[in-house]
Amino acid sequence: MRALQEKAKELLESGKVGVIIGYGNGSGERVRPVFVRNSADVAKLVSDNRCRLNLSTYLFKPELKKIGRPAIVAAPATVKSIIQLISENQLKSSDVVTLVVEDDAVVELGDNASLEAYSASHPVVFPPFARKEIETIAGMSLQERFKYWQDELSRCFKCYACRAACPLCYCERCITDNNRPQWVCVPSHAQGNFEWHMNRAMHLAGRCIECGSCTIACPVGIPIGLLTIEASRIVEQEFGFRPGLRCDAPSALSSFKVDDKESFIV
């Protein structure tokens, strides 16, 4: 933690960055996103296993962009999301200073190569409950699975916290915001909830880097990350593609290769 605070101080004082996006102590035992602009405030930064929300979603917030070039305190999943965003032309590695904390040492990942090297050597460790849930659901029949999601999604009230917390949901005008046509029903009845979550899973297939922020953000405790993770795993199985590894990777579902298999249509 000390090393992080020292590094933050150095970056701010040298003018290399205008703001550090990191974690600080919040209400009770929680941590919260903090935005440190003065070296006097670096003591606010913390780094421990409570720091799980993926902060790269803040890289697109207009009010923060105005402050200046950011540095971001990154967990392995955050690094992967930054790589994925670079591959989708939403960011350049020079737009943000990525800081990773390991055993109280801080490493600055300043270019595509170092980001990729870090990502390759740090597989995402998704919380144990999720792996167990995925296995359990995989063992269910289709009807059982549908019932499981009907139950879980009945609590959804379309607050879109999952979308807000996800760094890969960066569309300025989300599909749900369109009403010509109304692709996704607005109300949070069963159909509206299914439409939203299925849409989101499809839009994240091959892009979800498994940070779990959507699940952390969901106020009613729906393990919503399971859908997007599973969609990405299917893409990996079928197309051999994993997101968050290469800054120049093509998009899995919207790139065409001559040798793409067509066994499902031919």
User: How far is Cα 144 from Cα 165, in angstroms, rounded to an integer?
Assistant: 29
Count of chain residues binding another protein (CB under 8 A) = 44
Pure H helices in 61-212? 62-67, 76-87, 112-121, 128-138, 142-153, 161-165, 190-204
Query: Which residue number, 53 or 73, has a Cβ lying nearer to another protein?
Result: 53
| Beta-bridge mates of residue 33 | 23
Q: How far is the CB of 162 from another protein (least distance, A)?
A: 8
Q: How far is the CB of 138 from another protein (least distance, A)?
A: 20
134-144 core/surface letters (b: 16 or more CB in 10 A; e: else): beebeeeeeee
Whether residue 70 contacts residue 150, with contact meaning beta carbons closer than 8 Å, is answered with no
Burial class (CB in 10 A: 0-12, 13-18, 19+), 239: middle
Residue 74 backbone zone (phi > 0: left; psi -120 to 50: alpha; other: beta): beta
Q: How far is the CB of 186 from another protein (least distance, A)?
A: 5
User: How far is Cα 239 from Cα 251, in angstroms, rounded to an integer?
Assistant: 11
Whether residue 251 contacts residue 88, with contact meaning beta carbons closer than 8 Å, is answered with yes
For residues 68 to 107, the per-residue mask of contacts with another protein, x marking binding by CB under 8 A and - elsewhere, is ----------------------------------------
**Residue from 1, 2, 16, 26 that binds another protein (CB under 8 A)?**
26
**Residue from 32, 131, 132, 147 that binds another protein (CB under 8 A)?**
32
User: SS3 letters for 155-166?
Assistant: CCCCCCHHHHHC
**Residue from 126, 148, 160, 194 that binds another protein (CB under 8 A)?**
160
Per CB under 8 A, 179 contacts another protein: yes
User: How far is Cα 28 from Cα 30, in angstroms, rounded to an integer?
Assistant: 6
Of residues 184-223, those binding another protein (CB under 8 A): 185-189, 192, 213, 216-217, 219-223
Q: How far is the CB of 28 from another protein (least distance, A)?
A: 5
Six token digits for residue 165: 């917390």
Q: Interface with another protein by CB under 8 A: which range of 59-67, 78-86, 115-123, 224-232? A: 59-67
**Residue from 43, 64, 107, 175 that binds another protein (CB under 8 A)?**
64
Q: How far is the CB of 109 from another protein (least distance, A)?
A: 23
Whether residue 206 contacts residue 232, with contact meaning beta carbons closer than 8 Å, is answered with yes
**Residue from 57, 93, 112, 232 that binds another protein (CB under 8 A)?**
57
Per CB under 8 A, 159 contacts another protein: yes
Per CB under 8 A, 28 contacts another protein: yes
Residues engaged in binding another protein (CB under 8 A): 26-28, 30-35, 53, 57-58, 61-64, 152, 155, 157-161, 163-165, 177, 179-180, 182, 185-189, 192, 213, 216-217, 219-223
